Structure 1
Amino acid sequence: MSDPTPTLDGDRAGPGPVHVLVVAAGRGTRAGPGAPKQYRALGGEAVLRRTLAAVAAWPGASAARTRVVIHPEDAQAYAEATRGLGLAAPVSGGATRQESVRLGLEAIRAGTSGACAVLIHDAARPFAEPALAGRVLDALARGSQGACPALPVVDTLRRGALGGPAGAGVERAGLLRAQTPQGFALDAILAAHRAAAGREMTDDVAVAQAAGLEVEMVEGDEVNLKLTTPADFARAETWLQAAAPEVRVGTGFDVHAFAPGTSLWLCGVEIPFDRTLSGHSDADVGMHALTDAIFGALAEGDIGRWFPPSDPQWKGAPSEIFLRKAMERVAARGGRLLNADITLICEAPKIGPHSDPMRARLAEIMDVHLERVSVKATTTERLGFPGRGEGIAAQAAASIALPGPCR
């Protein structure tokens, strides 16, 4: 292994940027009949796509530095499972996992220069958490030549075959169950694989050890299940159902009257107009309705509870302060905004020319993708106070996802 350099992504020092090699060239026959297990649906999504979503959250990982080794016959299945992810080009694997890994490492080396780290991960492990990958990278940052997550064996071990008599017990002290991702400096593990070509070894740690590399064992994770049998798929489905986010929907409604002025604020955009809106803050009726909708989805009251109009500090305040607070509460609960839909109700001003800038501004304030925000307008056919041109009303709906079911 070359001397480490302080360029590993994040706050760690180590052998350069992080590359991820996902091994997905196997046939997975023990999973039962059907497509290779990495392309089977798990919770309505291909296992490989779930694995890549987990990888994307790892420290230092990026789509451009994530490469998948696939079976030559799986090109179409791979394309469908990874559509839109922006990954590095896949690599065709070999006859064995060991050969597939070597070919993947060769592709990474051909596409990069300088020292770098590589995390080698099985496609059939879709639940590998960022903290797990972080422990592997931390070991490399400490100067380890390799790192492998593992868990101690806690069950009694006994020789024998199912259906046959129990054999002798096996001492379990010091035995560990190895997991992936396993991490190395790229050049060191590539050299080890080249030297081991033609020999059959169980994992990349064995390849590294055969080349004289010392591999540090770090704490694994029981959740890092490897999908091997139909029972594993059933267990994973149960986990996903238990961990499925709870989707909440909230609504908001607000009204502000017109007052003398030359412009007004709607959904974070200042619009020239022959009047303004009257209110304690900037009277952004659309943003107020949306803020109430988010607080409502959280069941945390309304905008008046968080920002009382009797408090002088909010006089003339920009309403984005209120919306940002609502989004802070979503983040504090571990949630995320799924979508927001605002309807402005007025005869004037015309909303259409301003709806796209309004969407963009709201998306910016909430730090969400533009496609999650809708702003539209309607009239009341000249009925009621909006129809008489006395002010503007707004209604909003917001959906959020919170982790786990509410107890």
Structure 2
Amino acid sequence: MRKYAIIVAGGSGTRMLSELPKQFLLLNGRPILMHTIEAFNFDGIRIVLVLPEQQIQYWKTLCEKYSFRILHNIIQGGETRFNSVKNGLNSIEDKEGLVAIHDGVRPLIDRSIISMSFTQAESHGNAITSVSLKDSLREVSSGSNRSVDRAAFRLIQTPQTFQLDLIKTAFEVPFQPTFTDDASVFENSGKSIHLIDGDYRNIKITTPEDLLVVESFLVG
């Protein structure tokens, strides 16, 4: 079954306190996004990169500057992440296959998890990467709060991997505020979510502190 990866990179540098969009910040001497794409460059996975229109030419310039030659198809993003993923899905002509949808600023995703996500999605229709909570958790409501069992919750990561025909069908709806990730769109179509174990190192870089942590993992 043919495999695809949609890498979504539409972030800005606001929370990174940078004028440069975070996916282009340097990590170990190269843009973060290049590390992320490299992680999916195996086992014949066809890579689709979704970028805002105004960032596409800059990305091409970076690819030349850093001699980045990994084959990938560049697709223009939309106004929201939902629309960007939908554009990526619509660019795939195949009706059947598997597709992993991944944040462009999660450069430390392990290939073993990617492989497992494809295997599990082929069997279960989807595979959503997640990790257990380490800290205590409290629910805040109407000015009060209460302790809740952290074992009843999971932190959701990417990749979120799906059978191609099922996720395409799920995205054939208008955007809703409850669509916080691709799994929520898939669940809205009436399908059950299949969770798989992720990795605490699979950090989404959104703040300067996140970048420091990721850099420390690479050095280590």
By the TM > 0.5 criterion, same fold? yes
Aligned to 2:171: 193
Equivalent residue runs for 1:7-18 within 5 Å: 16-18=1-3
User: What is the rounded CA distance, in whole Å, between the counterparts of 1:186 and 1:121 in structure 2?
Assistant: 15
**Unaligned ranges ≥5, structure 1:** 1-15, 243-407
Q: Tell me if structure 2 keeps the 8 A contact 1:49–1:81.
A: no
What is the deviation of 1:139? Answer: 0.8
User: What is the rounded CA distance, in whole Å, between the counterparts of 2:218 and 2:134 in structure 1?
Assistant: 25
Equivalent residue runs for 1:112-191 within 5 Å: 113-142=94-123, 144-159=124-139, 167-191=145-169
CA deviations on 1:99-143 (whole Å, 9 max, x unpaired) are 10001100113xxx341111100001001111111221121232x
Aligned to 2:83: 99
Code of the residue aligned with 1:198 in structure 2: it is F
The TM-score, its normalising length taken from structure 1, stands at 0.50
Aligned to 1:90: 74
Aligned to 2:23: 38
Shift >6 Å, 4+ stretches: none
Aligned to 1:215: 193
**Unaligned ranges ≥5, structure 2:** none
Residues 52, 88 of structure 1: alpha-carbon distance in 2 compared, 3 angstrom cutoff: closer
Which of 50, 75, 84 does residue 69 from structure 1 map onto? 50
Residues 141, 185 of structure 1: alpha-carbon distance in 2 compared, 3 angstrom cutoff: closer
What is the deviation of 1:86? Answer: 4.2
What is the deviation of 1:147? Answer: 0.8
Code of the residue aligned with 1:235 in structure 2: it is V
Query: How many residue pairs get matched?
Result: 214
Code of the residue aligned with 2:59 in structure 1: it is Y
Residues 86, 43 of structure 1: alpha-carbon distance in 2 compared, 3 angstrom cutoff: closer
Aligned to 1:295: none
The TM-score, its normalising length taken from structure 2, stands at 0.90
Q: Tell me if structure 2 keeps the 8 A contact 1:48–1:81.
A: no
Aligned to 2:203: 225
Q: Tell me if structure 1 keeps the 8 A contact 2:13–2:19.
A: no
Code of the residue aligned with 1:137 in structure 2: it is F
Code of the residue aligned with 1:123 in structure 2: it is G
What is the deviation of 1:173? Answer: 2.1
What is the deviation of 1:166? Answer: 9.4
Code of the residue aligned with 1:226 in structure 2: it is K
What is the deviation of 1:230? Answer: 0.8
CA deviations on 1:68-115 (whole Å, 9 max, x unpaired) are 000111022211344442433311111110110001100113xxx341
Correspondence 1:23 to 2:3: no
Code of the residue aligned with 1:39 in structure 2: it is F
User: What is the rounded CA distance, in whole Å, between the counterparts of 1:55 and 1:86 in structure 2?
Assistant: 10
SS at match of 1:168: strand
Q: Tell me if structure 2 keeps the 8 A contact 1:135–1:219.
A: no
What is the deviation of 1:185? Answer: 1.3
User: What is the rounded CA distance, in whole Å, between the counterparts of 2:201 and 2:170 in structure 1?
Assistant: 30
Residues 86, 187 of structure 1: alpha-carbon distance in 2 compared, 3 angstrom cutoff: same
Q: Tell me if structure 2 keeps the 8 A contact 1:146–1:213.
A: no
CA deviations on 1:249-277 (whole Å, 9 max, x unpaired) are xxxxxxxxxxxxxxxxxxxxxxxxxxxxx
SS at match of 1:56: coil
Q: Tell me if structure 1 keeps the 8 A contact 2:38–2:70.
A: no
CA deviations on 1:300-337 (whole Å, 9 max, x unpaired) are xxxxxxxxxxxxxxxxxxxxxxxxxxxxxxxxxxxxxx
SS at match of 2:72: coil
SS at match of 1:194: coil
What is the deviation of 1:171? Answer: 2.5
User: What is the rounded CA distance, in whole Å, between the counterparts of 2:199 and 2:144 in structure 1?
Assistant: 30
User: What is the rounded CA distance, in whole Å, between the counterparts of 2:55 and 2:91 in structure 1?
Assistant: 18
User: What is the rounded CA distance, in whole Å, between the counterparts of 2:77 and 2:95 in structure 1?
Assistant: 24
Q: Tell me if structure 2 keeps the 8 A contact 1:158–1:166.
A: no
SS at match of 1:108: coil
Code of the residue aligned with 2:120 in structure 1: it is A
